[in-house]
Structure 1
Amino acid sequence: MAFDVVPPSLLYHGTVARNLPGIRADGLRPRGRVHVHLSVDRETAATVGARRGDPVVLTVDATGMHRHGFVFYRAVNGVWLIDHVPPRWITFGESA
């Protein structure tokens, strides 16, 4: 895993609609994992979200977060990792 790397400008997170109220309130949290997992493209995020139902893809302002001191990691498999994404950095999208 690469530590504290500069992320692409936008990253994506796939989820389902029933999770949106909690994400709007608290942001993205690891929920049983060590880090929040983010994808470099909408398609991959939609595939991840589809594992639990009709996917919703969220867009994360990774550049803004990094500029404000948030630390990103990149796993060997290309997944981007972060400890937490506060709601202010998330654009809530529509169903994928």
Structure 2
Amino acid sequence: MNTDDKRLDEISKYLSYVLRHEPQTIGLQLDAEGWASIDSLITSAAKYGRSLDRTTIQTVVANNDKKRFSISDDGKRIRAIQGHSTPAVQRKYSEKEPPEVLYHGTATRFLKSIHELGLKAGARHHVHLSQDIPTALAVGQRYGKPAVLEIQAMRMHRQGFKFFLAENGVWLTQGVPAEFLNTLDKLSS
């Protein structure tokens, strides 16, 4: 990764932190749908020693491989697509019928608890699910030795569980009871 890519990656992580979890650390206000004024973001970040500009923010949004952020149609606001843990944000997603199965990446050290208690959103507002195994595997690798869980999404949906699809292709649900998941045994890593 070259120096410019490292800088953009660091800025992406910073944006995730303030737009998903801790906007108050820089005095940034998010609305219920997670939007913040780009001008306010730049000004607030500067007060806390972080230099951002509109062009860099637009580059991070456009080039983020996970499509974590969006800029409003008028170009004045930014938000994280999903993954919020701050109570100020209560995004409304359209309910969707899920595919037969979805996947969740985690670390093997969490499997015992997950098989006992199911998947919980924890500090976030939703459990994040992937439509394919490679994406779930990549997510799991961030937390240690990866494990991929197969979620019986359609079976859950038929029993009244709600699923939502974020703009970046991440499936969201409130939680997954243990009886709807299985650990995949053979993974290429």
1:18 corresponds to 2:109: yes
1:1-96 to structure 2, matched below 5 A, reads 2-94=93-185, 96=187
Mapped to 2, the partners of 1:26 and 1:17 lie a distance apart of 15
How far residue 32 of structure 1 moved from its aligned partner, in angstroms, is 1.2
Larger proportion of helix: 2
Unaligned runs of 5+ residues in structure 1 are none
TM superposition shift of 1:94: 2.4
What's the % identity of the aligned pairs? 45
Q: Deviations over 1:13-57 (max 9, x none)?
A: 000111011101110001211000000000000000000112100
Displaced runs of 4 or more, over 4 A = none
| Offset at residue 84 of structure 1 (A) | 0.5
**Native 8 Å contact 1:3 1:74 kept in 2:** yes
Runs of 5+ consecutive residues of structure 2 not aligned to the other structure = 1-91
Indicate if the aligned counterparts of 1:10 and 1:60 stay in contact, CA closer than 8 A: yes
How far residue 95 of structure 1 moved from its aligned partner, in angstroms, is 5.9
CA RMSD of aligned residues (A): 1.2
Decide whether aligned partners of structure 1 residues 17 and 95 sit closer, same or farther in structure 2, where only a CA change above 3 A counts.
Answer: farther
Higher CA-based Rg: 2
Once the two structures are superposed, what CA deviation does each residue of 1:40-79 show, in whole Å capped at 9, x if it has no partner? 0000000000001121000000110000000000101100
CA distance in 2, matches of 1:11, 1:56: 14
Structure of higher RCO (CA pairs closer than 8 Å, 6+ residues apart): 1
Q: Measure, in 2, the Cα distance between the counterparts of 1:27 and 1:70.
A: 14
Aligned residues between the structures: 96
CA–CA separation in structure 1 for the residues paired with 2:105 and 2:174: 16
